[in-house]
Amino acid sequence: MALLQIAEPGQSTAPHEHRLVVGIDLGTTHSLVATLRSGVPEVLRDEQDRYLLPSVVQYRADGSLSVGEEARASAAQDPHNTIASVKRLMGRGPEDLQTLAGELPYRLAASDGMLRLQTVQGEKSPVEVSAEILKVLRERAEASLGGKLMGAVITVPAYFDDAQRQATKDAARLADIKVLRLLAEPTAAAVAYGLDKGAEGLYAIYDLGGGTFDLSLLRLQKGVFEVLATAGDAALGGDDMDRCIAEQMLAQLADRAPSSPSWQRQVLLAARVIKERLSDAEEASVELQLPDGAKLDWHLRRDELESWIAPVIQRSFAPCRRALRDAKVRPEQIQGVVLVGGATRVPLLRRMVHEFFGQEPLADIDPDQVVALGAAIQADALAGNQQGDLLLMDVLPLSLGLETMGGLVEKIIPRNTPIPVAKAQEFTTFKDGQSAMSIHVLQGERDQVVDNRSLARFTLRGIPPMVAGAARIRVTFQVDADGLLAVSAEETSTGVRAEVQVKPSYGLDDAEITRMLREALEHGKEDVEARRLAEARVEAERVREALDAALAKDAALLDAPERAGVDAARARLLQALAGNSVEALKGAAEAVEKAAEVLVERRMNQAVRTAMAGHSIDEWSDK
Amino acid sequence: MSSCPSCRASLLPGAATCPHCGALQPFDPALSLFAVLGLAAGFSLDPAELRKRVLERQQLLHPDRFAQADSAQQRQSLEWSTRINEAQAVLGDPLRRADYLFLQRFGHSALGEEMGSLRDPELLLREMERREALEDAVAIRDQAQLDRLRAEANTEEQELTERMAAAFAAPQEAQIARLLQEWQYLRKFLAEIDANEERWDYA
């Protein structure tokens, strides 16, 4: 086996000291993974050469599950157990149930302060569903890179709040991925764009994904990416366009097709298809199968579509105005507007963005890939694989505040503050001998507690007994570079460190994650199998490449029967590569090595002869 | 003079990294915001110079530079980076910079709860007129008038910056305190313009 690795002069056989890291774009409709190869970011593909993994997970009655294209195909047949757009549910709580239940065809439940989905395999949290998607991407990355991942940068919408970010991090933990950094999607896009196109100056990144909208304003300057302001809508995306179209379709066909979950799913899928078709054509149609079995060609013109979806696009401009105002920037100061996200392919959207910013938006890099590519660049920098000047400075997307008297919120850290950031606030007791105090942390822009997202309730205990107003409790809120909040507290007059009890309003607590990790270990055998297969595949692929390279150069060194033997072994290897058997892959790779031994030997001799030509034996033996 | 915990080389006060071995130094909370950026304390500050210092320091100390380091170093880097951002926020805003210098020099703040109400009749009158104009504009949702009020306030802020710079040439507590208060009222007014505009967005 080792012999096939003899290197051409000048090539290094030293193992790569490169740390294997990737960037992952965990999207509402699609997810993908990218890495840096020889300094160039590229997306990683599966065996069928696809790089977009539909963010869909199907839980089957037999206890198995499928993720991606296969799961998406089964959505119409099995709507309750096929979870799509789970990103919309990340970090959401019971009070979101009402609004979300109407939008999504799943059976939602709320338990332990968290939303869950009822499936044939029991209740699943959005974090668990996302973890299944991440696992597939991790396996894809490990198979194509041929080793264990050291870590990943995972992107989140800039406008994700603390609970949504924490949920994303938890999902990665469940998928056995070390998160090097949570990176805002528009910032990632700016990195890919800025480094590739050498952009400098002020840029607006308009990112309309499947389910989220972000607008970020960045200053780009020689490897420094400084977010000036970000604004968005965590519940606005291309999915909303699909839903508008689907509503029209359902209404038009109401008398021929009574509403049912599977009919709704079919129409929703058809709506997406026709939206995509109308990006390139003025008219298009899509085939539907009515519940009575009859087929129907549903026809639509682009101008009709545009009149339906214009209000969805219009909604994105309020955040745009907000970001410009926060950054104190006028549209004409902007050097370029970069489009990110599949939904920005819609021609009407491009026209409306053009009109709003007064310039033609840029989409030079594939809007589906650009976020993952940027994340891969950042991951590589964080792994220390390159000595660059890349520096990303992001902001807190939504203000952090505390509940005060009368159900009002007092802001402690305003939105668009550069992170990391810390703020200390002093509190005092209002009763003699008071030993505990509770603090409610919120995130959002509104004045009333109920209109903001509740992040956590803290109880400070162990305050030394004093008269009312004498205790000085200093609570420090620290937001780290991932945009995640941590709280600590201290009684400053006595130096007693108050105990902080954190009860996240949403998300998983540590005990729950531990339980899930334990369960994951029980299923770990499948993962180990998958990894063995991936490794065997990479090794077999390497053997095939080495053989082909040797044959391309020195096929003449073999006689006909020898060549036939090598070809037969090669054919067996190709067959094994098409299959999924570790044993077959290993056996075939060994067979190739064996059949090629004579070729390797002769190449070696030839190489030695060439190297020694013109030198005497003495000359060599002296050395 | 302190010394580097990893190589024992002696350090200048406020050093973030050891000039000898490059090790990250524990963050010292007593360090002034000017010292964090290696700037001389004073009201006059070139925004370009401030930005350059911030970027230089963040390049060196941002948590992204310590993604592979041990947790103690990550913690220290987080503290340094947080403080650099704070320095940028406070020193980059002339009002907050003046307030910070006032606090350093006179040991208390002229703003916040101790500020009290406006007593100067001239200022009081202007404040009332301004607020009436804003209320009128908001009532009929007059964006152009809002923009005009904002532009006027911005010009006034420019003038205050110059007056403050002159005052700091020979700092007198009462004079600077008064300027700070006047400025604070102007800021509140600007914030109210923004808040009203934002309410229109959400409506």
Res. A238: pLDDT tops 80: yes
Confidence of residue B77 (pLDDT cuts 50, 70, 90): very high
CB contact under 8 A, A382 and B85: no
CB contact under 8 A, A381 and B64: yes
CB contact A215 to B (< 8 Å)? no
CB contact under 8 A, A418 and B89: yes
User: How much is the ipTM here?
Assistant: 0.84
How far apart, in whole angstroms, are the C-alpha atoms of residue A565 and residue A159? 61
**A87 a catalytic residue:** yes
Contact list in B for residue A181 (CB cut-off 8 A) is 64, 67
Where is A377: in which H helix or E strand? helix A370-382
Confidence of residue A617 (pLDDT cuts 50, 70, 90): very low
**Mean confidence (pLDDT) of chain A:** 84
Q: For residue A9, what pLDDT is reported? A: 38
* Mean pLDDT on A87-97: 82
Q: For residue A299, what pLDDT is reported? A: 93
How far apart, in whole angstroms, are the C-alpha atoms of residue A11 and residue B20? 37
Q: For residue A141, what pLDDT is reported? A: 96
Residue of B nearest to A391 (CA): B59
SS3 content of chain B, % helix, strand, coil (to 5): 65, 5, 30
Q: For residue A506, what pLDDT is reported? A: 53
Res. A2: pLDDT tops 70: no
How far apart, in whole angstroms, are the C-alpha atoms of residue A279 and residue A343? 10
**A142 a catalytic residue:** no
Residue A97 near residue A60, CB atoms below 8 Å: no
Res. A169: pLDDT tops 90: yes
3-state secondary structure of B82: helix
**Mean confidence (pLDDT) of chain B:** 87
Res. A530: pLDDT tops 80: no
Res. A587: pLDDT tops 80: yes
Confidence of residue A618 (pLDDT cuts 50, 70, 90): very low
Q: For residue A265, what pLDDT is reported? A: 83
Q: How far is B121 from chain A (nearest CA, A)?
A: 31
Q: For residue A291, what pLDDT is reported? A: 83
Res. A520: pLDDT tops 70: no
Contact list in A for residue B89 (CB cut-off 8 A) is 417-418
Res. A11: pLDDT tops 50: no
Where is A587: in which H helix or E strand? helix A582-595
Residue A379 near residue A21, CB atoms below 8 Å: yes
CB contact under 8 A, A181 and B67: yes
Q: How many C-beta atoms lie closer than 10 Å to residue B117's C-beta?
A: 6
Closest to A571 (Cα-Cα) out of A546, A592, A597: A592
Contact list in A for residue B195 (CB cut-off 8 A) is none
Is the preceding peptide bond at A420 cis, omega within 30 degrees of 0?
yes
Q: How far is B202 from chain A (nearest CA, A)?
A: 8
Confidence of residue B89 (pLDDT cuts 50, 70, 90): very high
**A185 a catalytic residue:** yes
* Mean pLDDT on A112-135: 89
Give backbone dihedrals phi and psi of A79, rounded to 5 degrees, phi first. -60, -30
**Partners of A474 in beta bridges:** A426, A490
Residue A22 near residue A379, CB atoms below 8 Å: yes
Give backbone dihedrals phi and psi of A264, rounded to 5 degrees, phi first. -60, -40
CA geometry: angle A89, A94, A99, nearest 5 deg: 65
CB contact A296 to B (< 8 Å)? no
Cβ neighbours of residue A529 under 8 Å, at least 6 residues apart? A582
3-state secondary structure of A504: strand
Q: How far is A103 from chain B (nearest CA, A)?
A: 22
Residue A397 near residue A230, CB atoms below 8 Å: yes
Q: How far is B122 from chain A (nearest CA, A)?
A: 30
How far apart, in whole angstroms, are the C-alpha atoms of residue A77 and residue A545? 42
Confidence of residue A552 (pLDDT cuts 50, 70, 90): confident
Q: How many C-beta atoms lie closer than 10 Å to residue A591's C-beta?
A: 19
pTM of the model: 0.77
Q: For residue A5, what pLDDT is reported? A: 43
Q: For residue A7, what pLDDT is reported? A: 38
Q: How many C-beta atoms lie closer than 10 Å to residue A330's C-beta?
A: 10
Res. A223: pLDDT tops 80: yes
